[in-house]
Amino acid sequence: GEEVAQTPKHLVRGEGQKAKLYCAPIKGHSYVFWYQQVLKNEFKFLISFQNENVFDETGMPKERFSAKCLPNSPCSLEIQATKLEDSAVYFCASSQLGGLAGARDTQYFGPGTRLTVL
């Protein structure tokens, strides 16, 4: 599609439950990025993919968080055993591989998934 799509819009989980978020990048984009925004503060980078390969996972918490981008499927971000501090808006963004210089730097964002952990 022409926009980054994220589902669901809202997700409510009790502490300890699993949460799974999905992202479909813009058609033709090869890079996918996940960011976490807690309480309208800064975006925190989590992980990026180039196609189905992990590109940079330096922002991912070591425990409980995992992500995948499989061929012909939306990308996913999964949080096992959610905690209160995981409550945030999770944004997905995508960018092109080729094109004009700087194309890879221009990330287009989805509407986000608001995760509330009770």
Partner 1 sequence: EDKVVQSPLSLVVHEGDTVTLNCSYEVTNFRSLLWYKQEKKAPTFLFMLTSSGIEKKSGRLSSILDKKELFSILNITATQTGDSAIYLCAVSSGGSNYKLTFGKGTLLTVNP
Q: Select from 7, 26, 111, 116 the one that contacts partner 1 (CB under 8 A).
A: 111
Total chain residues near partner 1 (CB under 8 A): 28
List all residues 6 or more positions away from 21 whose beta carbon is below 8 Å from its beta carbon: 6, 7, 8, 11, 76, 77, 78, 90, 92, 113, 115
Could you tell me how many residues make up the chain?
Answer: 118
Q: Is residue 106 a contact point for partner 1 (CB under 8 A)? A: yes
**Shortest CB 42 distance to partner 1, Å:** 5
- Is 22 within 8 Å of 46 (Cβ atoms)? no
> Footprint of partner 1 on residues 37-76 (CB under 8 A)?
40-43, 45, 48, 55-56, 58-59
105 near partner 1, judged by CB under 8 A: yes
